[in-house]
Amino acid sequence: MIKNFSQYLIEEEREVYFTFGRMNPPTIGHEKLLDTLSRKSGKNPYRVFLSQSQDSKKNPLNYAEKIKFARKMFPKHARSIMMDKKVKTVFNAIQKLYDEGYKNVVMVVGDDRVREFDILLNKYNGKKGPHGVYSFSSQCRNLCLTLLAHLYG
């Protein structure tokens, strides 16, 4: 006898690859990052989220301009470059991916940022915060984001 239908459902462990950065302005180095992101994701989807920070010294382009230039400079990645004004931080990006049903998340960053994001994002896995709550599967719980240390590796 079936106790309940949900016990027979097997939830698909959806996986997505992503990166988050300023890209202000986009450069050839960013293209290499996106190529690596695409290659590592294989048949899985990948997303590129850009920060919305702007100032005259380090961030000359506004958010809309950054998106426009990144899509034009990297046309093979254009559909993966997300424009969502609600995504202002890496926490907003990861929350959005979680809300879309992804259970496994892989973040691709340069080796200079691996440790920072590993600590930061795993610290809040399964905990409620101002960004909301994301709780990735037990398979990823100890290392919620597999950070790829080398751009070409």
112 vs 81, higher pLDDT: 81
Check pLDDT > 90 for residue 136: no
Alpha-carbon distances, residue 109 vs 13, 35, 42, 105, 146 (angstroms) = 23, 12, 17, 13, 10
Contact 17, 108 (CB under 8 A): yes
Buried b (16+ CB within 10 A) or exposed e, 133-144: ebebeeebeeeb
7-27 residue pLDDT tens: 444 556 788 999 999 999 999
pTM to 2 decimals?
0.80
Tokens of 76: 């093979």
Rounded to 5°, the CA angle 73-47-110 comes to 75
pLDDT > 80? residue 5: no
Domains of the chain (ranges; CATH) run 12-141 (3.40.50.620)
